[in-house]
Structure 1
Amino acid sequence: MPGHAPAPLCTFSEPETPVTRTLTTEICIIGAGPAGLLLSQMLAQEGISSIVVDRQTRTHIEARIRAGVLEQGTVDALVEAGAGARMMAEGLPHSGFDLAFDGDRHRIDLAGLTGKTVMVYGQTEVTKDLFAQRVADGQTFLFGVDDVVPTDLKERRPVVHLRHEGRSVRIECDYIAGCDGFRGVSRKAIPADVLRTFERVYPFGWLGVLTERPPVSHELIYANHERGFALCSMRSATRSRYYIQCDLSDDVDDWSDDRFWKELCRRIGPETAAELQTGPSFEKSIAPLRSFVAEPMRYGNLFLVGDAAHIVPPTGAKGLNLAVGDVRVLARGLVRRYRSGETDLIDRYSEIALARVWKAERFSWQLSMLMHQFPEHSPFEKKMQRAEFEYIRQSEAASRSMAENYVGLPLEM
């Protein structure tokens, strides 16, 4: 690669004491979820070395159940990274989705309004594909780590300290990518007088189930009913994912499969319910909803990526897609830095990423406010929800705006 000789994945040096090991690399990536894996893959394609560390095992990470609607930009990024073959073979392209309000339905024609589609392909499968690619390429991983502490963030060579298999490890690098999620250590490493956070916690959760049954519709259905929100989704042509709005105080054990299906049928209406194939669930969980943004997304030589910097309610299907957008900006900036020494793009990383993050936050908040029942809402707010639905249904411009946001706004660098 011009201006940069490919480095080994990492180097090891004999410890100064029997209990300390020192590793050196160009990028230390904290977090082996899809964001961290994709970043390591994109860097490796350009000969840039990285070490990926995570407190969990690979098996645990691959088993996590997450969302599954991918924007075209995310699909393109996975294909370009060499990890999209199975997605393109097994994923389900969607050209639209339905909004339902007390039984009335309106289809948002994504393809017709924007010329773009989305891909339904579970984040669990994305993670498995990226792991397979990285392991095949010889990526260095440290799983099961604890006591992770990023230090010297303002120095030329920051350091990540951690414990792995009972030993202290010191990772010296050029940059640290914090891909370790909302509860990770990376964001906490930014001084409190530098970091600003913005948060909206919603007064309800989503109860979700997975079942080995064909989906009730070939496209997603978002429903607002007087009893609460519901979503009909899928992971494949034979595996369905359904959600209903529930109280945060609810216990999963109180929701039998039979109770869940009865409640879902009430909320999606008799016409849709007549097509529903119910069955035993093999995964059931309750997820809280929040909107959250941390600024800035860079401090010294530490970059926050994905959920470490921002959370969106799942209503707009933006979580993974925003993380991939961050990765694309950061990877391009790092490649430019190692190829030519130019740092203009990584210097603007936070500015570029946040511009897109806030637009996605707005859309996810807007759709959440439209489609859920809020306990504090008066009859006036409920009438406003209905008026908004009618406006979207009757206005092509309003439908196009929703479609543009749903398929993903462009990444401007």
Structure 2
Amino acid sequence: MRVQVAIVGGGPAGHLLGQLLYKAGIDAIVIEQRSQAYVLGRIRAGVLEQGTTDLLDEVDVGARMHREGLVHGGFALGFGGAHHRIDLNKLTGGKNVMVYGQTEVTHDLMDARAAAGLATAYEAENVSLHDFDGPNPKVRYVQHGVAHEVECDFIAGCDGFHGVSRASVPAAALKTYERVYPFGWLGVLSDTPPVSEELVYANHARGFALCSMRSHTRSRYYVQCSLEDKVENWSDNAFWDELRSRLAPELAESLVTGPSIEKSIAPLRSFVAEPMRFGRLFLAGDAAHIVPPTGAKGLNLAASDVRYLARALAEFYAGSEAGINHYSDTCLRRVWKAVRFSWWFTSLMHKFPDAGGFGQKIQEAELDYLIHSQAASTSLAENYVGLPL
């Protein structure tokens, strides 16, 4: 099989790139290790920046998002027994974020790809990348016992942190930067109405908490926990009691609880791999960088990566190599700004094992400064809604 671009990874980054290339008239195949059902079964966050929602509209998959998504013009910071609203709309000149689950984004992109009859290979085992340091790269895989080889002009590695794409790069050609945080997030999904109409990020002496949602009737809540903790150690009642203890009293009293429909613990890390291009292999999304979920930047960074890549490839086929030559530098400028914001917000809102009472007081002082300084609030808001593409 011969295509112009082989996209390795069928999550939101790979499928969004596929739609962008389709709109540009570029032939591509999406190759995904897992089944379609498995990909759609992964529970992920879903706070979309304005730039991401605009991109979904650009590839004609935004209709359901606009019907079912929740537009948020602000969020709350909780500390000192109260919560304080950050008015995103006012502070950024009218910008908002959209709460719409990553799973739903992926579903919409998959449906659009299927409707257009575009090539997608699910359950592709033993995926391997070859010859991307020359003009004729190849991707090989086995699907249902049959070996396949895809010849292409370029490979887009959109297969996540543990995927084959970054692992295929010679170690000497890659430089990585990483910070692993000494805690995780225990998350619960429940069919209960959200405790607040907007997200609430809570700083508490017992640890961080986040009140989020998927819809008006489905909520997603998190509490900071130890990396050594186990899901089976947490009954639903224990989780709800811990969450209440970290919220302002009026929120805690109005919290509606119920049985969890999903419960998991996620570790937190910051990670960046440089560069993001190796010959005719391009890394995008989690294959190149990871951010803690505190700042809601993971999916949005992946969207900006594939936007840059799609435009670079369109320029290449129009006769210019400038876009692909500058792809890595262009992406990394935005990546590092998002990594900085996510690190800062994580450091501000979480309890660190060695911080002690002094660290807690410093966090409270900075939070107090944030809500009383328009300059500080504006900086937070500008980063949260997304820096310019």
**TM superposition score normalised by structure 1:** 0.93
Q: Tell me the distance in 2 between the aligned counterparts of 1:289 and 1:281.
A: 22
Q: 2:290 aligned with 1:311, yes or no? A: yes
Query: Following TM superposition, by how much is the alpha carbon of 1:379 offset from its aligned partner in structure 2, in angstroms?
Result: 2.7
Counterpart residue identity of residue 181, structure 1: G
Matches of residues 228-247 of structure 1 in structure 2 within 5 Å?
228-247=207-226
Matches of residues 351-370 of structure 1 in structure 2 within 5 Å?
351-370=329-348
Counterpart residue identity of residue 239, structure 1: R
Aligned to 1:274, the other structure's residue is in SS state helix
Q: Find the counterpart in structure 2 of residue 377 from structure 1.
A: 355
Q: Find the counterpart in structure 2 of residue 16 from structure 1.
A: none
Q: Find the counterpart in structure 2 of residue 75 from structure 1.
A: 53
Counterpart residue identity of residue 15, structure 2: L
Counterpart residue identity of residue 41, structure 2: A
Q: Tell me the distance in 2 between the aligned counterparts of 1:300 and 1:162.
A: 21
Matches of residues 116-265 of structure 1 in structure 2 within 5 Å?
116-265=95-244
Contact 1:176 1:303 in 2 (8 A): yes
Q: 2:21 aligned with 1:33, yes or no? A: no
CA-to-partner distance for each residue in 1:272-309, whole Å, 9 max, x for gaps? 01111101110111000000000000000000010000
Q: Find the counterpart in structure 2 of residue 103 from structure 1.
A: 81
Q: Tell me the distance in 1 between the aligned counterparts of 2:55 and 2:233.
A: 41
Counterpart residue identity of residue 47, structure 1: G
CA-to-partner distance for each residue in 1:324-363, whole Å, 9 max, x for gaps? 000110001111111x210101110000000000000000
Range moving further from structure 2, 159-168 or 62-71? 159-168
Aligned to 1:278, the other structure's residue is in SS state coil
Counterpart residue identity of residue 342, structure 1: S
Q: Tell me the distance in 1 between the aligned counterparts of 2:371 and 2:382.
A: 15
Contact 1:102 1:226 in 2 (8 A): no
**The one of 280, 283, 290 aligned to 2:262:** 283
Counterpart residue identity of residue 268, structure 1: L
Q: Find the counterpart in structure 1 of residue 309 from structure 2.
A: 330
Aligned to 1:225, the other structure's residue is in SS state coil
Q: Tell me the distance in 1 between the aligned counterparts of 2:73 and 2:193.
A: 19
Q: 2:373 aligned with 1:395, yes or no? A: yes
Q: Tell me the distance in 2 between the aligned counterparts of 1:136 and 1:145.
A: 21
Query: Following TM superposition, by how much is the alpha carbon of 1:105 offset from its aligned partner in structure 2, in angstroms?
Result: 2.1
Counterpart residue identity of residue 118, structure 2: Q
**Sequence identity (%):** 60
Query: Following TM superposition, by how much is the alpha carbon of 1:188 offset from its aligned partner in structure 2, in angstroms?
Result: 1.1
Aligned to 1:268, the other structure's residue is in SS state coil
Contact 2:75 2:199 in 1 (8 A): yes
Instruction: Give the gaps of 5 or more residues in structure 2.
Output: none
Q: Tell me the distance in 1 between the aligned counterparts of 2:324 and 2:354.
A: 43
Q: Tell me the distance in 1 between the aligned counterparts of 2:87 and 2:120.
A: 43
Contact 1:182 1:310 in 2 (8 A): yes
Q: Tell me the distance in 2 between the aligned counterparts of 1:269 and 1:101.
A: 7
Aligned to 1:36, the other structure's residue is in SS state helix
Query: Following TM superposition, by how much is the alpha carbon of 1:158 offset from its aligned partner in structure 2, in angstroms?
Result: 0.5
Query: Following TM superposition, by how much is the alpha carbon of 1:131 offset from its aligned partner in structure 2, in angstroms?
Result: 0.5
**TM superposition score normalised by structure 2:** 0.99
Q: Tell me the distance in 1 between the aligned counterparts of 2:107 and 2:328.
A: 29
Q: Tell me the distance in 1 between the aligned counterparts of 2:240 and 2:357.
A: 28
Q: 2:44 aligned with 1:88, yes or no? A: no
Range moving further from structure 2, 371-380 or 305-314? 371-380
Whichever of the two has the greater Rg, that structure is: 1
Contact 2:142 2:148 in 1 (8 A): yes
Query: Following TM superposition, by how much is the alpha carbon of 1:106 offset from its aligned partner in structure 2, in angstroms?
Result: 1.9
Query: Following TM superposition, by how much is the alpha carbon of 1:370 offset from its aligned partner in structure 2, in angstroms?
Result: 0.5
Range moving further from structure 2, 171-180 or 101-110? 101-110
Counterpart residue identity of residue 217, structure 1: S
Query: Following TM superposition, by how much is the alpha carbon of 1:104 offset from its aligned partner in structure 2, in angstroms?
Result: 2.8
Q: Tell me the distance in 2 between the aligned counterparts of 1:102 and 1:263.
A: 17
Query: Following TM superposition, by how much is the alpha carbon of 1:45 offset from its aligned partner in structure 2, in angstroms?
Result: 1.1
Contact 2:7 2:158 in 1 (8 A): yes
Contact 1:71 1:407 in 2 (8 A): yes
Query: Following TM superposition, by how much is the alpha carbon of 1:376 offset from its aligned partner in structure 2, in angstroms?
Result: 1.3
Query: Following TM superposition, by how much is the alpha carbon of 1:269 offset from its aligned partner in structure 2, in angstroms?
Result: 2.7
Query: Following TM superposition, by how much is the alpha carbon of 1:169 offset from its aligned partner in structure 2, in angstroms?
Result: 1.3
Contact 2:80 2:364 in 1 (8 A): no
Task: Provide the aligned C-alpha RMSD in A.
Answer: 0.8
Aligned to 1:352, the other structure's residue is in SS state helix
Counterpart residue identity of residue 49, structure 2: E
Query: Following TM superposition, by how much is the alpha carbon of 1:133 offset from its aligned partner in structure 2, in angstroms?
Result: 0.4
Query: Following TM superposition, by how much is the alpha carbon of 1:383 offset from its aligned partner in structure 2, in angstroms?
Result: 2.0
Query: Following TM superposition, by how much is the alpha carbon of 1:139 offset from its aligned partner in structure 2, in angstroms?
Result: 1.3
Contact 2:133 2:279 in 1 (8 A): yes
Range moving further from structure 2, 327-336 or 396-405? 327-336
